[in-house]
Structure 1
Amino acid sequence: MSGLPPFAAPMPLDAAAPAALETTRKAPTSAWYALVVLIIATVLGSIDKVILTLLTEPIRQTLSLSDTQLGLLQGAGIVLFTGIATLPLGWLSDRYDRRVVLAACVVLWSAATAMRGTAMDYGVLFVASVGLGVGEAGLTPITNSMIPDLFPRAQRVLANAVFALSAIFGSALGALLGGTIVHLTDDLRPWLPVAMQQLEAWRLTFFVLASAGIPVTLLVLSIRRTPRGGVQEAKPGAPAAASADAPGATTLHEHLRRHWRTFAGLVVGVGLTSVGLSSLGTWLPIVTARTYGVTPVQMGQGMGLAFLCGTVAGGLLGVLSMRYVQPRMGPAAALRLIMLGNLSAALMSTLLLFTSSANHNFALLGLLVVPLIGSAVLLPNVLQDAAPPHLRSRTIALLTMASLPFGVVGPLMVGMLSDALKSMPNGLAVSIVATTLVGGSLGAMVLRATEGPFVRLMREAKPN
């Protein structure tokens, strides 16, 4: 789920008693190649998204932007239109070649990244952010639909773990590379055409990143096409996966109506939590740059190191926690851990009021990442098993779209509160903490109340 998110340890609910043939079936080399390409595309999307955070202060100074406008860029500009586009892109990927749909998405968000570099006012920057959001909207539903088609159930957990952690590491790598790209682009200025030598470093950075979309698009198109249901369609004695148009197949409306309490609880619970937590990734770097004068290069290095350390610790925490909790709680384990991880991060955000240096803020960011990653790595299998294959993309897309109000409110609320508290020396930090704490606490209560219907859905999906 916006700004939204499987090790060998947290096995799917039916993994304890799979059919013998299913456990011995292995994914072909082409499946692992496809997974690597999906990771590369996701990492590029992460870099294109995080680079705006690194360059926010130079852009704000050049275009004279307010905090409310910055909040709108991240909220309405990216999150809102990402959610709006997710459902139609999920619909397209359920009916047409997912490789082509994903390649078109890469082209669109790369073109939008280049458009950012041409922005002379807030309007153009906002339109470019909309294009970026629409393009990246296809990543979640398409990748979560392709992985189950590429890998048998016995290997899907591992594939999800590899993809999830690689994508998360990609965010950290994006921050590190983003700062490095800013620095290298500025150093290469004398070698650029005369017309480009006078451009600001942030504009040149956007142009460089946009050019990376061309080879990534070709890589996506090189993935071998896999039928719906993938390797699992060949399982002897098992019915073929239902297609979207097969007679008698469960419709999206029927599936959502039957389990509306579960899906509503997930959307509202995770959404309320993300109101604040999504703002941490957006605003914590900004308050650090504004308060301590950190450059984009320093910001990229600090954020990248914090994400890398937090991801390693969070991944281990998720695996170990799931091994301990799942035998005791069964299908409720994943949701309980997600709730506890998000609540812990919300409570720890109060430490922002007591930091006194940029390094303190980076250390806090790494600390916050630990429980968030610990819970986030559990989500892909839950989402994939919560709907039949022919509804998977649209179900995930609809859940993402339903979280729109929360994703928009978070960054915008922090920006508006910050503008209202300009007279306070730490008004931006207070705004971040207040939004995160309230949203995280309310979201945890909703997720806790959702455990009952969530368990019933999991047991229906995996009766054995």
Structure 2
Amino acid sequence: MQPSTSTPSSPRIPLGAWYGLTTLILASICGNSVLQVMALLTEPLKQELSLSDTEIGALRGLGATLVVALASYPIGWLADRVDRRRIFAVCIFIWCVATAASGLARNYEMLFVFAMGISVGEAVLGPVTYSLIPDLFPPARRMLANSIFFVSQLLGYAVGLALGGLLIGAVERSHAALPEALASLSTWRIVFILVALPGIVLIPMMLAIPLREAAREGAPGGTAPTAVRDGLLEYCRANARTLLSMFAGFGAIGAANFTVFGWIAVVIVRLFNVTPAEVGVTLGQVFAVGSVLGVTAANLLAKRIARRDVDAAPVRVAQWGALAALGFSLLYLFATTPTQFYVIATLQIAASFGGLALSPTVNQGIAPARVRARLMALGGMFYVGFGALSPLVVGIVSDALGPDPRNLLTAMMLVAVPAFVGGALLLRFGEGTLRQTMETVRADDAVFTAPAG
């Protein structure tokens, strides 16, 4: 099969699409703000409810990450059958109620239940967001939209942290002047209640998002094309090589990133006796600069390659990014100053996250519209699962090697290097059937969105 050589057209993007993307970004920032606020309020929350570090860890681990992984597929399943805007709005409502209720929790058990409610609401951010973007933007402009959202997520963590800190400070300064019902509550409880309020505004904003004509015609309830009508399982079996290679490949690259950036701050502190606060501020700046540069460069390179091969362009750039990140990561072994670590980290972030920013575009291209949310959820489960395990493996290896500070760096490389290599090889393997899968999806979507009669 010959590679596609046509250059994608660049249709004008209506204002409604940008409005929808802006709403999705705001929802992402609000969701990240809750997670950052929970981290900032750990100590006062721990003291008032007499919690142990184990309970705090379970609250932020089992009560958050694991629930997101488990809830994303059921939400994706529902989003393939009901208007995705309504699913998103309902999840925002659940998130708002659970967040505000966390501020009224009387014990750990109540707090854990509410944390799971927050996570169920936030589970929508992955499968539904990336399945909704194709309903807003035509194929030729999805890579741009996905990249903007991807960067906004990366920067959203910093924004959420800053907004959370400002809100906590404002509540502490004006605590005595608050209405009696609020003034009687602890600062952390008030903050949880206040941080839930923006979600109320997001609900009508989400419902007002206009969809493209093709997306409306292909809404749940239409006539399904053959490949989709046969069911998700049959589709996955027929395209197993493509799906597993793309999902596991991007998941492995993501795991390598989790490995490095889950431990790099600890490595710098241990090797150079730098304060955690200084490392945190500097790495935050490094993360912002590296991610923006990387995503911009990856998009420009992908557009250039797309002139010769539209379908494979994002995957090819992601492969090159993983291999470049691998090379940059090995330089950590020779770094002798914190500045050298920061420079290397900037280059590695640019290479690895630039490629990862293209993963939603690839996954959307191999997912028929009728099962898109579920397939995006499955891909996200690879990412979350690999990412949750990799930092743990580094800790186990480091403990086995001994207490020398450089052993942690060695353990980090022993996990990250195979992950980068494996991710690139999996993506390369999946290229063999990628075009066939994408052509099948385009044919299915054309039938699905065709007017009846």
TM-score (norm 1): 0.75
Tell me, yes or no, if structure 1 residue 47 matches structure 2 residue 33.
Answer: yes
Give 1:163 deviation, angstroms: 3.1
Give 1:53 shift: 6.1
Per the alignment, residue 65 of structure 1 pairs with 53
1:263 offset after TM fit, Å? 0.7
Deviation at 1:314, TM superposition (A): 0.8
Aligned to 2:214: 232
The separation in 2 between residues aligned to 1:305 and 1:60, in whole angstroms, is 30
Deviations 1:396-419 (A, max 9, x none): 122223555423312433454566
Is 2:286 aligned against 1:306?
yes
Structural mapping, 1:432-443, within 5 Å: 432-443=412-423
User: In structure 2, what is the Cα distance between the partners aligned to 1:261 and 1:173?
Assistant: 38
Deviation by residue 1:122-178 (Cα, 9 ceiling, x = unmatched):
877765554443322211222222222223445444433443333343344334444
**Structure 2 CA distance for partners of 1:203 and 1:101, relative to 1, 3 Å:** same
Q: Look up the equivalent residue of 1:150 and give its one-letter code.
A: L
Partner of 2:240: 260
Aligned to 2:151: 165
Alignment-derived partner of residue 148 in structure 1: 134
CA-CA distance at 1:36 after TM superposition = 1.3
Query: Letter of the aligned partner of 2:417 in structure 1?
Result: L
| Cα distance change, pair 76–451 in 1 and its aligned pair in 2 (3 A) | farther
Q: Could you tell me which of 363, 381, 388 is aligned with 1:383?
A: 363
Assess if the C-alpha contact under 8 Å between 1:78 and 1:133 holds in 2. Answer: yes
1:63–1:121 contact (8 Å) kept in structure 2: no
The residue type equivalent to 2:205 in the other structure is L
The answer to whether 1:133 aligns with 2:119 is: yes
Whether contact under 8 Å (1:168, 1:311) holds in the other structure is yes
Q: Whole-Å Cα distance in 2 between the matches of residues 105 and 388 of structure 1?
A: 23
Aligned partner of 1:139: which letter? L
Aligned-partner Cα distance in 1 for 2:118–2:442: 37
Q: Which runs of 5+ in 2 are unaligned?
A: 447-453
Separation in structure 1 between the aligned mates of residue 99 and residue 280 of structure 2, nearest angstrom: 18
After superposition, the CA RMSD in angstroms is 4.2
Give, as a single letter, the amino acid of the residue that structure 2 aligns with 1:89. Answer: I
1: distance between equivalents of 2:173 and 2:246? 47
Cα deviation digits, residues 275-304 of structure 1 (max 9, x gap): 331244444456667864434xx6764444
Counterpart of 1:336 (choices 303, 306, 316) is 316
Tell me the equivalent position of 1:5.
none
Q: Equivalent pairs: percent with the same residue?
A: 33
Asked if the contact 2:32/2:160 (under 8 Å) is kept, the reply is yes
Tell me, yes or no, if structure 1 residue 294 matches structure 2 residue 276: yes
Structure 1 residue 329, shift from structure 2 partner:
5.4
Change (3 A) 1:325 1:173: same
User: Alignment length, in residue pairs?
Assistant: 432
Q: Secondary structure at the match of 1:387?
A: coil
Displacement, 1:260?
Answer: 0.6
Q: Any conservation in 1 of the 2:29–2:153 contact (CA below 8 Å)?
A: yes
**Structure 2 vs 1, CA of residues 233 and 46 (structure 1 numbering), >3 Å: closer, same or farther?**
closer
For structure 1, which runs of at least 5 residues remain unmatched after alignment? 1-11, 235-239
Measure the CA separation in 2 of the matches of 1:285 and 1:163: 26
- How much does 1:100 deviate? 2.5
Aligned to 2:449: none
Q: Which moved more, 1:89-98 or 1:320-329?
A: 320-329
1:273 shift after superposition: 2.7
d(CA) in 1 for partners of 2:202 and 2:315? 34
Maintained 8 Å contact 2:323/2:421 = yes
Q: Compute the displacement of 1:395 (Å).
A: 1.8
Task: State the match for 1:271 in structure 2.
Answer: 251
Q: Distance in 2 between matches of 1:120 and 1:220?
A: 33
1:367-446 residue pairs with structure 2 within 5 A? 367-403=347-383, 405-417=385-397, 423-425=403-405, 429-446=409-426
- Indicate if the aligned counterparts of 1:288 and 1:358 stay in contact, CA closer than 8 A: yes
- Structure 2 residue 294 is the aligned partner of structure 1 residue 317: no
SS of 1:95's equivalent in the other structure is coil
